Amino acid sequence: MSNIEKLQYYFEFPYVRYAFIVGILISLCSSLLGVTLVLKRFSFIGDGLSHVAFGAMSLSTTLPVMIKQYALSWSGEDKLSPRMQGVVNWFGGLNDMYIVLPVTLVCAVLLLRTGQNTKIKGDAAVAMLSVGALAVGYMLMNRFPSRANISGDVCSTLFGSTSILTLKREDVWLCIVMSVAVIAIYLLFYNKIFSVTFDESFTKASGVNADSYNLLIAVVTALIIVLAMNLVGSLLISALIIFPALSAMRIFKSFRSVIICSAVISVACAAFGIIVSILSSTPVGSTIVVADLGVFILFSLISAFVGKARS
């Protein structure tokens, strides 16, 4: 079977098509945000929030087991009451996003607020939240395992190895709605986001409520991280956000051209990564990130070469 035939064969499956659509949308959104985060020197907030998302995902996965275990030990019986079983089943059937999204959103706001606090500096707050969430997540997964294969679950959450291929139609729609919301926010508030990104003091002086826009950026970051968790896992999200922006900045200088180039790189790498992972059975997330890394190295070389030629 040739590679084209292999791809045609795989794309007949809805889950592969879903993965492709979601992958493209997430990479587009993350590249938009990446430019702002890199320029504002907020890259680590993305990293911190991705760890928070891991903790929240662990909580969401283990919540039915946790409730079941505590309910059984409280009642002292071997079997749950029908009412309690209903509660456990409800949590078991709940989409992870309904827990992961609000937890990540709250932490995004907290991080922003703590970053302005003089007692705990921004980078320390991010590090604290990041390792704290990671530890809580891993502890929950070990204490309340939902399946026997704990390391598989942890690996999947951290590296997104399989979750992109297990998306349901509902997940795809949720992803489309959230992606459209992110893109709409960017288009509607382009001038203000641009201004807040470059110069907060001037933006504030120009009559923009800079704090609100910082909050908006934090909320969008949280949204994208939750979306991207399915694609590349929580450990690799930062790469998806930062690499396209950094690559584009090697060559382009204006905000608009950096954003456009970053979006093109990100979408191209996501499509390339998904296709390569289908053809060669590599993990989707890491293949995309390796592609992003490759583009970054290529663009850095081009930038160095052009710089040398000019001088």
Partner 1 sequence: MATEQIISMRNVCKSYKMGSERLNVLKNVDFTVNKGEFTAILGPSGSGKSTLMNIIGCMDTFDSGSYSLNGIPIHQTKERELANIRNHEIGFIFQNYHLIPTYTVMQNIIMPLLMRGQDRKSAEKDCREIVEMLGLSERIHHKPSELSGGQRQRVAIARALCSKPSLLLADEPTGALDQTSGTEVLKLFTKLHEMGNTIVMITHDLNVAKWAQRTIRIVDGEISEEAVNA
Range list of β-strands (E), the chain: none
Residue 58 main-chain phi, psi, to 5 deg:
-65, -40
Q: Which of 16, 136, 204, 282 binds partner 1 (CB under 8 A)?
A: 204
Q: Closer CB to partner 1, residue 116 or residue 206?
A: 206
Q: Which stretch binds partner 1 (CB under 8 A): 73-81, 194-202, 217-225, 284-292?
A: 194-202
> Does 43 interact with partner 1 (rule: CB under 8 A)?
no
Q: Computed over its alpha carbons, how large is the radius of gyration of the chain?
A: 21
- C-alpha torsion angle, residues 163, 166, 171, 176 (rounded to 10): 80
Report the residue number, 205 or 304, with the smaller CB distance to partner 1.
Answer: 205
Q: Taking the chain, what is the end-to-end CA distance rounded to the nearest angstrom?
A: 51
- 202 is a site residue for partner 1 (CB under 8 A): yes
CA distance 198 to 44: 18
Q: Are 223 and 181 in contact (CB under 8 A)?
A: yes
| Residues 243-262 within binding reach of partner 1 (CB under 8 A) | 253-255
**Could you give the angle at which helices 122-143 and 150-159 cross, rounded to 10 degrees?**
150
Query: Which of 24, 208, 237, 265 contacts partner 1 by CB under 8 A?
Result: 208
Using the rule CB under 8 A, give the single segment among 30-38, 68-76, 155-163, 202-210 that binds partner 1: 202-210
279 belongs to the binding site for partner 1 (CB under 8 A): no
User: Cβ 185 to partner 1, closest distance in Å?
Assistant: 16
28's tokens: 């587009």
Residues 152-191 that bind partner 1 (CB under 8 A): 191
Q: What span, in angstroms and rounded, lies between the C-alpha atoms of 155 and 153?
A: 5
* d(C-alpha 91, C-alpha 96), whole Å: 9
Smallest gap from residue 122 Cβ to partner 1 (A): 20
Instruction: Answer yes or no whether residue 77 interacts with partner 1 by CB under 8 A.
Output: no
Q: Which of 61, 62, 163, 195 binds partner 1 (CB under 8 A)?
A: 195
Give the Cα separation of 248 and 296 in Å (integer). Answer: 8
* CB closer to partner 1 out of 17 and 192: 192
- How far is the C-alpha of 282 from the C-alpha of 288, rounded, in Å? 10
Site for partner 1 in 109-128 (CB under 8 A): none
In whole angstroms, what is the distance from residue 101 CA to residue 231 CA? 15
Rounded Cα distance between 262 and 151, Å, is: 34
For the bound state, the minimum distance from the C-beta of residue 73 to partner 1, rounded and expressed in Å, comes to 47
**Spatial separation of the C-alpha atoms in residues 311 and 306, rounded to whole Å:** 9
Contacting partner 1 (CB under 8 A), which of 1, 207, 280, 308? 207
- Total chain residues near partner 1 (CB under 8 A): 17
Distance CA 222, CA 53 (A): 9
- Give the separation between CA 13 and CA 305, rounded to whole angstroms: 44
Interaction between residue 201 and partner 1 (CB under 8 A): yes
Q: Does 311 bind partner 1 (CB under 8 A)?
A: no
Q: Kindly state whether residue 198 participates in binding partner 1, applying the rule CB under 8 A.
A: yes
- Under the binding rule (CB under 8 A), the answer on residue 192 touching partner 1 is yes
Query: From the CB of 197, what's the least distance to partner 1, in Å?
Result: 10
Q: Which residues bind partner 1 (CB under 8 A)?
A: 191-192, 195, 198-199, 201-209, 253-255
